[in-house]
Amino acid sequence: MKIYITLLTFLTVFSSSVLAQNSDYFLKGTIVEEANGNPVAFATVLAIDKTSNENLGGITTDMDGKFELKINSGNVIVEISFIGFETKRISTITFVNGTADLGTIKITEGEVLDEVNIRAEKSSTEFKLDKRVFNVGKDLSSTGMGALELLNNVPSVNVSIEGQVSLRGSSGVQILIDGKPSILADDPSNSLGSITAEMLERIEVITNPSAKYDAEGTSGIINIVLKKDEKEGLNGSITLNTGAPHNHSVGLSVNRRSEKFNLFAQLGVGYREQPNDSENSNQDLVNGTTVNSIGTEYRNENYYNIILGTDYHIDDNNVITLSGNYAYEIEDQPSNTDFSYYDSSNTLISAWNRSETTKATNPKWQYELQYKKDFKDHKDHDLLFSALGRFFGKDQESEFEVTPTFGDREFDNQQTETDFQQSDFTLKLDYTKPFSDKVTMETGAQYVINDVGNDFTVRNFIDDEWVTDPNLTNNFEYDQKVLGVYGTGSYQGEAWGVKVGLRMEDTNLNTLLTNTGEANEQNYTDFFPSGHVSYKFNDEISLQGGYSTRIFRPRLWDLNPFFNIRNDYNIRVGNPNLRPEYTDSFEVTSIFIIPKASFNAGVYYRYTTDVVERVTYFEDNVSVTRPENIGTNGTTGVEVNFKYSALEWFSLMGDFNFSYFDREGEFENQNFDFTGERFTSRMTGKFKLPADFEFEMTGNFQSSYKTVQGEVSQNAFADLGIRKKVAKGKLVINASVRDVFNSRVRESVVSQPEYYIYTKGQRGTFVSLGLSYGFGKGEAMTYSSGRRR
């Protein structure tokens, strides 16, 4: 708490010194109709600098037609506009003690124009089958708001002060720009700072993806659609961050738009430390022996990152995008763990210290080529082709030194060496054809190649020389190819909407342990149907239902049988014979939009077969955890989330999820049938304080729940953040404290008749302080220096 108070004091002093250089001016008044004197709600009031024509700020009137706007210059023209009324400009304004009271301002109804391409005054949300569409109105587009801030106005979406985007409480969100993946959206908090609200046409939110999207999917999709007529200008942001434990970075983001080209670039460099305290206890209940371990592991790294790219607008209907990203990391992973061994009478027999020195370099690159064609007959008639390539490498060397501290037990020092290379390639083609404003067809194909090699060597120090251990040394090769083809059809009427689709994916997976010749081949073809239906009662209430079939394919580390020997009494290994798990997902959600609030409540049922579970084997006080396919799982749940803007200076967001699960399965003659419950919740309060301070507080709770062999304990933690805007948001100072009370502890037990295993992990409290400056049309952004993987 002392750290938080110190940061708050620093921010206050700093911001006060900055504000002392800029005088504040206030504009206020009331807008009414000239014909009848009725107040005009939601009229737009803009302040424009007389000399530079720069937009100094904007606001909309309240329900009584009143407004009050703070600006930093008195040399202004005020422009008042509202749909259906003539725009009114006031050029003679007198300030008294920094305030200009414009009194009652009358506006006159204008003639109806033939031009219909007019942005709506008020932002609104509408429902279209499997997605919700947030149309950006003039009330937000004219205020200089940035893309991340605007996302905060979208129902079910939350953006933290640190820039993390979550949907319905989950951060596993895929962000698209104009319907296609973009390097700019890979890490939204680092990249979307160059996009302002005036460039946005709408934001689409998809919580239950249809057959158009990968069957492995995410927790949801957010698609940001840009206006075609906003291509001009220079946008950018510079950021500087520091934190404890050490987390320091500098970032630059630049975006230059012209009529034909959109050029964007990013540079980032930094250093971070990520400590993790761990504690383990392995108890042999048959022999009565126990091995305890306690220590701290670090992952420290210097990192460098550059992004370059361009959009070339061939004409109004054709655009080509070419972009690339290169990153380089230098890792240092020291760890220090103390072990102790007790006999059946709880007498200490031996103790030792195991220390690790690890050095690694990680080169990473990515390239992307995209072509999008918009057909002239309909705004949603388009063709999109994309080619994406990624590479990740790791050259790592580790040395483990064991020092006895009690007893006469002898140990061998060890070395490991890892040469890891992963290449991923994706080719994708999507075609959308509306036959009318109500009927649309989508079709497309995707081909994904994953090629991985992991050469892992272990050496033991025996008789004064390093000797390769053949039982722990091997080269694991992983090759997976997935071909997907899909088609969907939809009907969207005034009230009812229906969308059905089918996706086919053919998977070819091969793994090989080259030293032993052990090979595994899996070839399978799956069909993934999806169906969505929606009914719109009115503009405020809508009901949506959805069904989809999903797949979870075993990942590389689920299949690789080799492991890190950092703690050689608690080992995790992969299973080359692991099969994919399949889930049938049903969901019904009701959406309510009322003044100042949005509310979503839903029920769901998910049935999963060939469930992948981590099973622990135990021998000689050594635990080995390995993924296995065990039976089925049926989960029934209720999910509620809401966003409530109670006052102009306070808003509240909450996400709640309760589920009941029924497990059935048998593995190696052991029955795994059991039932259980799980509850998670998150509540976020946001406060707008005087002097342009914003404060955010988030509380999280995760209940305990059963596993196939034990239980995971409950967990509660809180995060705080504060932000100060200066110079109309061009300069932003932000501070945050993650896990304020150091209570985010991960505890689990494996309890079996023959053994008991306790595991605890804790990362501790993180404090960060950042400065960001936006130039041109860019907003100040948050360069979170998050770990890219």
> For residue 450, what is the enclosing H or E element?
strand 439-462
pLDDT at 501: 95
As given in the structure block, the two tokens for residue 546 are 């959805």
pTM of the model: 0.76
Asked whether 712 and 676 are in contact (CB, 8 A), the reply is no
Our CA dihedral for 460, 461, 467, 469, rounded to 10 degrees, sits at -10
SS (H, E, C) 139-151: HHHCCCCEHHHHH
What residues does each domain of the chain span?
A: 2-107, 124-230, 260-776
CA distances from 545 to 244, 402, 479, 527, 597 (A): 46, 59, 37, 20, 22
pLDDT at 412: 85
Q: What type of residue sits at position 230?
A: E
Nearest-CA neighbor of 128 among 542, 706, 442? 542
Long-range contacts formed by 667-671: CB under 8 A, 24+ apart: 667/615, 667/628, 667/630, 667/631
pLDDT at 284: 96
- The answer for residues whose C-beta is within 8 angstroms of residue 551's C-beta and 6 or more apart is 215, 216, 505, 526, 528, 580, 581, 582, 583
Q: What type of residue sits at position 172?
A: G
CA distances from 220 to 172, 223, 638 (A): 7, 10, 17
Q: What type of residue sits at position 609?
A: T
Bond into 404 cis (ω within 30): no
Asked whether 673 and 664 are in contact (CB, 8 A), the reply is yes
Chain-centre distance for alpha carbon 248:
21
Q: Would you put residue 369 in left (φ > 0), alpha (ψ -120 to 50) or beta? A: beta
Chain-centre distance for alpha carbon 292:
36
Between CA 585 and CA 486 the distance in angstroms is: 18
Between CA 223 and CA 440 the distance in angstroms is: 18
Three-class SS of residue 259?
coil
Between CA 356 and CA 333 the distance in angstroms is: 8
Q: Do domains 2-107 and 260-776 have the same CATH topology?
A: no
- Class of domain 2-107 as given by CATH: mainly beta
pLDDT at 117: 38
What CATH number has the domain spanning 124-230? 2.170.130.10
H helix runs in 171-224, sequence order: 188-191
All residue ranges of the chain with pLDDT < 70 are: 1-23, 42, 52-54, 63, 83-84, 110-128, 137-149, 152-153, 155-156, 158-164, 166-172, 179-199, 217-219, 227-233, 563-564, 776-789
As given in the structure block, the two tokens for residue 580 are 């994919």
Three-class SS of residue 752?
coil
Between CA 775 and CA 147 the distance in angstroms is: 15
Between CA 289 and CA 625 the distance in angstroms is: 20
Between CA 477 and CA 474 the distance in angstroms is: 10
Nearest-CA neighbor of 628 among 670, 659, 662? 670
pLDDT at 182: 63
As given in the structure block, the two tokens for residue 172 are 């596993």
The CATH architecture of the domain made up of 260-776 is Beta Barrel (2.40)
pLDDT at 666: 87
Alpha-carbon radius of gyration of the chain:
29
pLDDT at 647: 84
What's the length of the chain? 789
> For residue 8, what is the enclosing H or E element?
helix 2-19
pLDDT at 142: 42
HSE-CB of 789 using CA atoms within 13 angstroms: 2
Strand order across the 612-619 sheet: 570-572, 622-629, 612-619
